[in-house]
Amino acid sequence: MKTELYYLALTATLTGLLWVPYVLDRLLKNALGDVAGYPLANFNQSGWADKLMRAHRNAVENLVVFAALVLVAHAAGVSNSAIGTAAMVYFWARLVHAIVYLFGIPWVRTVAFIVGFGAQMVIAWQILT
């Protein structure tokens, strides 16, 4: 498997698992019927779980761009060390982003986001040039 596809799979897995802790928090703090149903009021949720939910939302939004770029590169037969390295950097940047978002570390979160964006742009550049 190409490096960029491997890190796309890891990133998709990470993004797919980020909801688990905050939903478990909801289950612990609310009635099962409220969590499984469609309540009109907001959930009672821990602050950390709310942060993780926002980190998950951000990860989903950015996964769309990352996945599209990696899959376009793959379909176009564009694969090199720059794309593989950028995909690896993107995964680690997103992992750091989620962790520091959870702990409320604003500057590190911003840097992790920018590093991830830069990795996306490296892939785009490799495709388009």
pLDDT in tens, 25-75: 888 888 777 777 776 567 788 889 989 999 999 999 999 999 999 999 999
pLDDT tens digits for range 111-121:
999 999 999 99
Burial of 20-37, coded b for 16+ CB within 10 Å and e otherwise, reads ebbbebbeeebeeebeee
Say if CB 94 and CB 59 are below 8 A apart.
yes
Query: Domain 3-18+47-128 - what CATH class?
Result: mainly alpha
pTM (2 d.p.):
0.91
